Structure 1
Amino acid sequence: MIKIISFFTKMEEFVSRLLLSIVVLLVFFTAVGRWAGLPVAWSVNIAQLLFVWIIFLGSNQALRNNKHIGVDIFSNLLPRRLQVLNEIFVLILMSAFLLLSVVYGVKLSIDNSTRVISNTPISYSFITMAVPVGSFLMFLTVIGKIYSIVFGCERNGLRRF
């Protein structure tokens, strides 16, 4: 199971880096093209599409590595046991929100399936699908964190999710 999670984590990081590289190259060549008098109308729209996906994939990576900004001034005042219970409670709330984001993100994607991105034949749902896909990945990360806390993976020598 750990090998599967590790594989998908590395794949997600690779895809994020690849998409970011494509965005940088696309924006660079678009800027050079405009300077040369050869603007590419669709490039900005494709860069925005890729950027939305980068945001959601990066959010999951930040969540997995505890890199999101957090306010822990109050939880640090609690005894250790209550801190753990508070963390589990917050993660459960996050998982509920993320599931709602998945459900409503799918609905949003379906609603936008006939809409196209300007200057391209690409459906706008390719942009909006980043919401349910990214939210589902974050949901899996949150479930992994809850599992790690409840079953004490750190105490048992396993890597915390």
Structure 2
Amino acid sequence: MIENIISALFFLAGISLSLYSVFMRYVMGGSQSWATEIFTMMLVWAIFIGFSTALRDDKHVSIDILYDRVGPGMKKVCELVTLIFGIAFSLFFIWTGIDMVSTAYAQEIRTIDAGFPIWINYLIMPIAGVLLFIRFVEKAYRFFLKKEIPTEKEAGSEWQL
């Protein structure tokens, strides 16, 4: 739920900033070049956080043509391979993200218009990698225990008073 709220806040703030920029450019006649950099950062953060929520809710795009035609044993093999690749990808994302952040921090790189430290933009990579890693480990745990992951609706009912 926290991921959903944070992602929505980044998205709404980014869209609001974009609307402000359009208003300033076309109605007031003054360009806000810094707004594009901040808007882009906010949308990237919203999307990268959304990766883990999409994985949690099984909303990622999938191609089921072959998967639907194989037997239950092969489906388990496919799921296991997917989990292994997902965990490996998450770890790669974390490692690469940390490298990008540390390089940008050491070189003190800043955005052109806003002068914003670019390492903060890059920080979403290791954060998203950690969130994806947690989701893949959760799926692996449930896979090996043969437990179904509750849907968003079922999980949400736990929080209702």
TM range (shorter): 0.7 to 0.9
Q: What corresponds to 2:68 in structure 1?
A: 76
Render the CA deviation track for 1:122-157: whole Å, top value 9, x for unaligned.
211111111111111011101111111111223xxx
Query: Over aligned residues, Cα RMSD in angstroms?
Result: 1.6
State yes or no: 1:60 paired with 2:59: no
Per-residue deviation at 1:55? Answer: 1.4
User: Does the alignment pair 1:117 with 2:115?
Assistant: no
TM-score, normalization: structure 2? 0.86
**Distance in 1 between the 2:97 and 2:80 partners?**
25
Q: Which stretch of the first structure deviates more once superposed, 68-77 or 53-62?
A: 68-77
Using the size of structure 1 for normalisation, the TM-score is: 0.86
Task: Determine whether 1:142 maps to 2:136.
Answer: yes
- The equivalent residue for 1:151 is 145
Mapping of residues 1-161 of structure 1, within 5 Å: 10-35=1-26, 36-113=28-105, 114-154=108-148, 159=150
User: 4+ residue runs of structure 1 moved beyond 4 angstroms?
Assistant: none
Cα distance in 1 between the residues matched to 2:66 and 2:30: 56
Secondary structure of 2:33 counterpart: coil
Aligned residues: 149
* 3-state SS, counterpart of residue 42 of structure 1: helix
Contact persistence 1:27–1:43 (CA under 8 A): yes
- Give unpaired runs (5+ residues) of structure 1: 1-9
